[in-house]
Amino acid sequence: MRNAERGTRNRRVGVVARDATLLFRVPPSAFRVCLLLAACTPVTTRPDFKPDPRALVVILNARPERVTPGIDSLVRAESLEVQRVNVRDGYVETAWYDPARRRSYPNGRDIADLPATVKIRCWADPWVPGQTRLTVEPVYRPRVDPSRAERDLELIAPPEHGGYKLAQQLIEKLKQRFGTPQSAR
């Protein structure tokens, strides 16, 4: 294929182009716009799945930028190990935690009692100006199946589960710290 068919221009090896847009036969302004759009596309560290609709939800009187560090500090105070946290995305995820033993498991292989362990995920999303919609998802795995994705095996912890109670305590402490709007009470 010739260079003319591909829309490129020939350059000598020793000559460096002053502008990268000159190497292609597209209008330079369109190429610069594409580069600008690619550079401005937000990168997120949130997982690609949404929270379970049965997860715990509360509205707090604070912006997500304040709530996310608050979640992180409360979770660490309860001796849970934080696996992922991103203030910009409003996301906090703990490692697997056994409430009876009060021990975190960074990887899933060392867990002694699988159904008793829980992982807590928190999504702090903007609601109305100055408020956050916090979704807390306490999940557990009743069994191990290496042929399936970990997320497919997770279930929302039932209300009598220690992890569910831990998530409720976390929400109550966040309500005390940040408050709730009058309409949410």
**pLDDT of 160 strictly over 70:** yes
User: For 162-173, what is the mean pLDDT?
Assistant: 93
- How confident is the model over 35-60, as a mean pLDDT? 69
Together in a domain, 96 and 124: yes
* 114 and 144 part of one domain: yes
With 80 as the cut, is the pLDDT of residue 33 above it? Answer: no
Q: What is residue 43's predicted lDDT score, i.e. its pLDDT?
A: 56
**DSSP category for residue 87:** T
Instruction: Tell whether 13 is covered by a domain.
Output: yes
CB 170 within 8 A of CB 74: yes
83 and 119 assigned to the same domain: yes
| Residue 36 located in a structural domain | yes
In this structure, the answer to whether residues 31 and 66 fall within a common structural domain is: no
Where does the pLDDT of residue 27 fall: very low under 50, low under 70, confident under 90, or very high at 90 and above? low
CATH number reported for the structural domain that contains residue 135 in this entry: 3.30.530.50
Residue 109 has pLDDT above 80, yes or no: no
Whether the predicted pLDDT of 11 surpasses 90: no
Number of domains in the chain: 2
Nearest to 180 by CA among 82, 9, 17, 62: 62
Nearest to 72 by CA among 99, 102, 93: 93
Which residue segment(s) compose the domain that 67 sits in? 56-184
Residues 67 and 118 in one domain: yes
91 belongs to a structural domain: yes
* pTM listed for this prediction: 0.69
Residue 185 in this model has a pLDDT that exceeds 70: no
**Pair (100, 143) in one structural domain:** yes
| % of the chain at pLDDT higher than 90 | 33
pLDDT of residue 7: 54
CB environment 32-45: b (16+ within 10 A), e (fewer): eeeeeeeeeeeeee
94 and 29, same structural domain?
Answer: no
Tell me the two tokens of residue 100: 């009876």
